[in-house]
Amino acid sequence: MEEKRILLQKQIKHYLCWNEKTHAKTPNNSPTPRTTTLSPGRRQTECDNLSLISVPRQNPKQQSNASHHYSVTGTAPDGMRQPLPHFRRNRLLQRSPFSNPACNHPTVNKHQHQQTQQAANPRNKFDFRTYMLEKINIVNQALDAALPLQNPIKIHEAMRYSLLSGGKRICPIVCLAACQLVGGDESTAMPSACALEMIHAMSLMHDDLPCMDNDDLRRGRPSNHVVFGENVTVLAGYALLARAFEHIADSTRGVSPEKIVRVIGELARLIGPEGVVAGQVADLRCGGQGRRLDIGLEQLEYIHLHKTAASVEASAVAGAVLGGACGEEIERLRKYSRCAGLMFQVVDDILDVTKSSEELGKTSGKDLVADKVTYPKLIGIDKSKKYAQKLNREAQEQLNGFDPEKAAPLIALADYIAHRQK
Amino acid sequence: MEEKRILLQKQIKHYLCWNEKTHAKTPNNSPTPRTTTLSPGRRQTECDNLSLISVPRQNPKQQSNASHHYSVTGTAPDGMRQPLPHFRRNRLLQRSPFSNPACNHPTVNKHQHQQTQQAANPRNKFDFRTYMLEKINIVNQALDAALPLQNPIKIHEAMRYSLLSGGKRICPIVCLAACQLVGGDESTAMPSACALEMIHAMSLMHDDLPCMDNDDLRRGRPSNHVVFGENVTVLAGYALLARAFEHIADSTRGVSPEKIVRVIGELARLIGPEGVVAGQVADLRCGGQGRRLDIGLEQLEYIHLHKTAASVEASAVAGAVLGGACGEEIERLRKYSRCAGLMFQVVDDILDVTKSSEELGKTSGKDLVADKVTYPKLIGIDKSKKYAQKLNREAQEQLNGFDPEKAAPLIALADYIAHRQK
């Protein structure tokens, strides 16, 4: 515990040193983006504040489509580029969304097999990994531009610290993919995609506060309040939320103001007291902090549909509206995203009890220890697996009738969520 | 301290008992609004969760225009209608915005005299007290409707607890007045007016958190986190912010979506990291929590212009845009609100050192004790008073050229801010 504390202090010092250096170097107080080339064979890079988590696959034979070099564009803190402390490097490895993607996993079920057969046809070929890496990079660049480091420095620093610290960027990517699926242009949906990530970052910052989950680490770095203090984190959180709506209102181009108003309304509703917050509060009361409370399947689904799926729903609906979808298309994408979001949680529950900590890349059995109500606990592992498969089928069904090429990212994303092994 | 703790516990118990009763009585879990008539001569009523703080004047001779009965519409907690504990009743009295309004104060300076002369002409007559009471009532009813008590109960309860607990409603009233000043309809601006109050409530809830000002009382009642817990308060805060934007987007009628988008953009910017939050962070770093730091006039103005004036600015600009103001009109109202907001703080600083606690209705000399940098500390009391007068003149000048009858509420509001005695 003492060692961990000392390590945290060192990391904070490094971070602050970097900021001082950056401010001294750049007159406009904005860190200069730079490009770094990583050598092949390096499995994971230190990428705090970088734009891309690059993860060449473990087995070189599997690297057929992946480029050996990844261009990493972002803001790289000098002080943070030193070798990582052991526990921190491990956490980064564990957090990678693609370190062992399910789509490449040897265990292929019937549905995956169909996908593989489709992939044999060049017209159907879709490289999910490359797509995701490309989109993560684009989103990170847009986020960097949407929230430049400006006066007052401290609050922007705190906001950027959490916003640009990596992450899967699932919500922004769903937003962009939904927009393109219905024929819209990616750039139209980008401000909303960034706003979704700002809201996600705010949510994580608040989740980590001592009065919430009291977590001092996030994505392998000290949590926001550990670096900036609780008071600044609370302010930075709601500043991110305000900036999210400002960004949609001020930066969305190429669509009618009517659509922008609708997107703001939908997004605000889905993250508010009838959406994400509803799930968070229900979770707090039903074991979110380790208390044992007997809740049923219905309540559990309520929590996950609100706490997790509502954000994905907001992403899909925002993208669809901005892309010019008709009412039916919007509702189908809404259903897709609710199924995908709920499935994410069901699979998470299954992995917690079926995988070792080593396989999982994080502490397994956490839900058991916390005596949390989960799907395996309520209906057993087999039924939970079947339920996840059902949700995946339902999600995929919503995409029938759309252009298969444009639907490929969302199909692959659902499959990735269903079959992930960690 | 122990007594205070016990009183707090009693009040929380009362509040929770009321909620249980209410939920048991109403199938839809929404407390039924009801009308209560207060007898004349009662100076202040217990009005937790009520819509109106009714404060007939102390001297019956002064009650010429005021009705003897006030209709109070709102949700009245049964358990809270018992006589108040002494310290709490005092706080309620102290907080009243009109218990001794400056417009009726015997000390009349030159400017006030001019206003009085104008009032002698029936065409110029404007009853500020009646206007404010009427608007507070309308705003409270709109707030009650904008955030009904619905599932999930707990988070809505927490949001409503702070939102409907009284307050001056300055921002919503500025918003409505600005809209009407430029020829708009009040109903068009009402959703934005409510949103501004939601944001204000969120800001106060977060300000009271232990990691911020650590205040366990607000408007004479236990602070939000004392009743609901810190974690729920953090969530309720950002739920209020989300609901604010949802409400503007979904409920604004009678204007083009383009104007709604502009209002959302302006409002989000002015409460975000370049607006209110910027001021709050600067204040935290410059003595907001009692630390002595030598800052100059420029920094002090920066804090107040952002922390306080930016909310008033957002209110005036939102109202003006929705009312159909032209660019020049918007900018004049922006300047008016910035002057009025800054003046509020200058006067606050002066009162802190010139009035006794008894006169002030709250602890005087707090800034001195906290060693806070204030206007009297930096430039002296006389210069501070002259500066307040200058700001009032500048604010009033912005209203020249508008229809004097429609400008009357904003003229009177600036005068009230300038000449208030507590």
For residue B375, the Cα-to-chain-centroid distance in whole angstroms is: 22
Which residue of B lies nearest to A230 if distances are taken between CA atoms? B211
Q: What local confidence, expressed as pLDDT, does residue B3 receive?
A: 61
Among A57-71, A150-164, A336-350, B258-272, the minimum mean pLDDT is found in A57-71
Torsion of CA B240, B246, B247, B248, to 10 degrees: 120
Q: Using CA atoms, how far apart are residues A44 and A371, in angstroms rounded to an integer?
A: 34
Q: What local confidence, expressed as pLDDT, does residue A22 receive?
A: 45
pTM of the shown model: 0.76
Query: B33-56+128-419: which CATH number, 1.10.10.10, 3.30.420.40, 1.10.150.120, 1.10.600.10?
Result: 1.10.600.10
To test the contact with chain B by mutation, choose from A154, A261, A291, A321 the residue with the greatest count of B C-beta atoms within 10 A, namely A261
Helices A230-251, A186-208: axis angle to 10 degrees equals 170
State what percent of residues in chain B have pLDDT above 70. Answer: 64
Per the CB < 8 Å rule, is A243 touching B159? no
Mean pLDDT of A322-327: 98
Q: Which residues of A touch B269 (CB under 8 A)?
A: 242, 246, 250
For B153-202, the pLDDT digits (tens) are 999 999 999 999 988 899 999 999 999 999 999 999 999 999 999 999 99
Of A312, A323, A339, A318, the closest CA to residue A397 belongs to A339
Which residue of A lies nearest to B306 if distances are taken between CA atoms? A152
CA distance B195 to chain A (A): 12
Q: Tell me the three state secondary structure of residue A282.
A: helix
CA distance A231 to chain B (A): 5
Residue B213: pLDDT over 90: no
To test the contact with chain B by mutation, choose from A224, A231, A285, A286 the residue with the greatest count of B C-beta atoms within 10 A, namely A231
Q: Using CA atoms, how far apart are residues A231 and A412, in angstroms rounded to an integer?
A: 41
Q: What local confidence, expressed as pLDDT, does residue A98 receive?
A: 34
Q: What local confidence, expressed as pLDDT, does residue A9 receive?
A: 62
Q: Using CA atoms, how far apart are residues B205 and A242, in angstroms rounded to an integer?
A: 16
Name which of A262, A268, A281 is nearest B155 (Cβ-Cβ): A281
Higher pLDDT, A235 or A110: A235
Could you state, in order of their start, the residue ranges of all structural domains in chain B?
33-56+128-419
CA distance B68 to chain A (A): 40
Q: Tell me the three state secondary structure of residue A218.
A: strand
Residue A258: pLDDT over 80: yes
| Token couple for A20 | 């001082």
Residue A157: pLDDT over 70: yes
Per the CB < 8 Å rule, is B261 touching A257? yes
